[in-house]
Amino acid sequence: MKRALITSATASQHSESPVWEGVIARYARYLPVSGATPIVTLKEGNTPLIRVPNFVHACGGKFELWLKYEALNPTCSFKDRGMTMAVSKALERGTKVVICASTGNTSASAAAYAARARIRCVVLLPHGKIALGKLAQALMYGATTIAIDGNFDEALRIVRELGETGKVEVVNSVNPARIEGQKTAAFEICDHLGRAPDFHFLPVGNAGNITAYWKGYTEYFSDGRIAALPRMFGFQAAGAAPIVEGRPIEKPETIASAIRIGNPASWHGATNAIEESKGLIDKVTDEEILNAYQLLARTEGLFVEPASAAALAGVIRCAKNHLIPENSVVAATMTGHGLKDPDSALKTSGTEPLIVAPKKEAVMKVMGIY
Ligand SMILES: *Cc1c(COP(=O)(O)O)cnc(C)c1O
């Protein structure tokens, strides 16, 4: 009775159940799980795919843009799709401690799923470079939270070395279970649209997600569920664009802290996805990222974090350069919630509340009505 919350993979293999039980239950037949796998889920996945015509109009495009709003996962980023798999598999192997390096969202997700599984979680973060909401999550879920005086790449190196001791299980996307879980977002998009998009845009940091989406699309294609594959378009931040530059970046810099990575673990997965899909990898400046970030919020009422907006900055760039033919079906992944990084939001909005006396006339005056 110790783990009453945890079911096994076969117990929920009725994947067409009308009640959403998380990505493993829904897509078990595409995942390396069995009846012996204890499923640790917070009912991640099943996120909305939202069409954004106002945004497309504002950037002068004539295509359909659909945003996979991963902000509505349990810890408010797509990382939960991979983490339900990584922590379930860790538990199946009898792991007692999971560990990760993180720019913030992986640690939030690992901490939550470890709490659910009642195992220990240790997270290594680059000191002073984590968005406030993400740090609050790791601490609140009870992870042992360690800030290193270094960047993400250095934290990941240490974590990989610790993994080799066999005493802890690494739940970064170097763990293949993470990629397996994350590919379910591609399945959901195809299930929703009844086809694959023509283009798929996403931000690229450690490059696990672009690798996972491509795996998902190609598996659905092999299975005859979609008739064509999308072209994968990845975007890095200009100050942290190792794949675009073709070399590791020692001191990556960008406002988009989730993709502030100089030596991506899934580098090859990303280049493979781009080559095989006849896609593209490019970089966008922080200015373009912040512009897209604010434009989405103001034209569509969707608040994402700066890293997610890198994909949108890419859409704007491609629309301007006429790289997206008319009537194309375009998908973009909104990787994380805007509320995770309130500092960036407050700075970017460039406005402050209007402070007035507690009188009707005073409010009318600042509204400009008399
Ligand atoms: C992790 C993350 C990314 C980057 O994903 P990778 O798989 O590392 O390329 C982008 N945006 C957000 C919000 C993230 O949390």
Q: For residues 155 and 174, what is the distance between their CA atoms, to the nearest angstrom?
A: 13
Q: How many CA atoms lie within 13 A of 151 on its CB side?
A: 17
CA distances from 254 to 135, 249, 306, 344 (A): 18, 12, 10, 12
pLDDT at residue 4 tops 70: no
The arithmetic mean of pLDDT across residues 144-172, rounded, is: 96
Q: For residues 202 and 175, what is the distance between their CA atoms, to the nearest angstrom?
A: 21
The arithmetic mean of pLDDT across residues 283-311, rounded, is: 98
What residues have CB less than 8 Å from 19, skipping those under 6 apart? none
Q: What is the mean pLDDT of the chain?
A: 95
pLDDT at residue 11 tops 70: no
Q: What's the gap in Å between 353 CA and the centre of ligand 1? A: 31
pLDDT at residue 14 tops 80: no
- What confidence category does residue 229 fall into, taking pLDDT thresholds of 50, 70 and 90? very high
State whether the beta carbon of 307 lies less than 6 angstroms from ligand 1. Answer: yes
- What confidence category does residue 370 fall into, taking pLDDT thresholds of 50, 70 and 90? confident
Q: What's the gap in Å between 283 CA and the centre of ligand 1? A: 15
Residue with tokens 């649209």, as numbered in its chain: 193
pLDDT at residue 322 tops 90: yes
Q: Would you state the pLDDT for residue 8?
A: 56
State whether the beta carbon of 208 lies less than 6 angstroms from ligand 1. Answer: yes
Is the whole model's pTM more than 0.85, yes or no?
Answer: yes
Q: Would you state the pLDDT for residue 38?
A: 97
pLDDT at residue 13 tops 80: no
What residues have CB less than 8 Å from 201, skipping those under 6 apart? 233, 234, 235, 311, 312, 314, 315, 318, 330, 331, 332, 333
- What confidence category does residue 257 fall into, taking pLDDT thresholds of 50, 70 and 90? very high
Q: Would you state the pLDDT for residue 1?
A: 34
Both structure tokens of 345 = 């939001």
Give, using CA atoms, the residue closest to atom 15 of ligand 1: 105
Q: Relative to the CA of 304, which ligand 1 atom is closest? A: 13
State whether the beta carbon of 259 lies less than 6 angstroms from ligand 1. Answer: yes
For strands 7-8 and 231-237, give the pairing: unpaired
pLDDT at residue 39 tops 90: yes
* Contact between residue 291 and residue 55 where contact means Cβ atoms under 8 Å apart: no
- What confidence category does residue 15 fall into, taking pLDDT thresholds of 50, 70 and 90? low
Both structure tokens of 92 = 């199946």
The arithmetic mean of pLDDT across residues 202-214, rounded, is: 98
Give, using CA atoms, the residue closest to atom 4 of ligand 1: 205
Q: Would you state the pLDDT for residue 17?
A: 75
State whether the beta carbon of 341 lies less than 6 angstroms from ligand 1. Answer: no
Q: Would you state the pLDDT for residue 7?
A: 57
Closest CA to 229 of 279, 270, 264: 279
- Encode burial over 98-111: b for 16+ CB neighbours within 10 A, e otherwise: bbbbbbbbbbbbbb
State whether the beta carbon of 173 lies less than 6 angstroms from ligand 1. Answer: yes
pLDDT at residue 172 tops 50: yes
75-128 residue pLDDT tens: 999 999 999 999 999 999 999 999 999 999 999 999 999 999 999 999 999 999
Q: For residues 242 and 154, what is the distance between their CA atoms, to the nearest angstrom?
A: 15
Closest CA to 215 of 184, 261, 242: 184
pLDDT at residue 5 tops 90: no
Q: Would you state the pLDDT for residue 30?
A: 98
- Pocket residue to mutate for ligand 1, from 68, 69, 77, 213, most atoms within 8 A of Cβ: 77
Q: What's the gap in Å between 207 CA and the centre of ligand 1? A: 8
The arithmetic mean of pLDDT across residues 17-44, rounded, is: 96
Percent of the chain at pLDDT > 70 equals 96
Burial of 16 (0-12, 13-18, 19+ CB in 10 A): exposed
State whether the beta carbon of 204 lies less than 6 angstroms from ligand 1. Answer: yes
State whether the beta carbon of 109 lies less than 6 angstroms from ligand 1. Answer: no
What residues have CB less than 8 Å from 356, skipping those under 6 apart? 362, 363, 365, 366
Percent of the chain at pLDDT > 90 equals 94
Q: Relative to the CA of 205, which ligand 1 atom is closest? A: 9
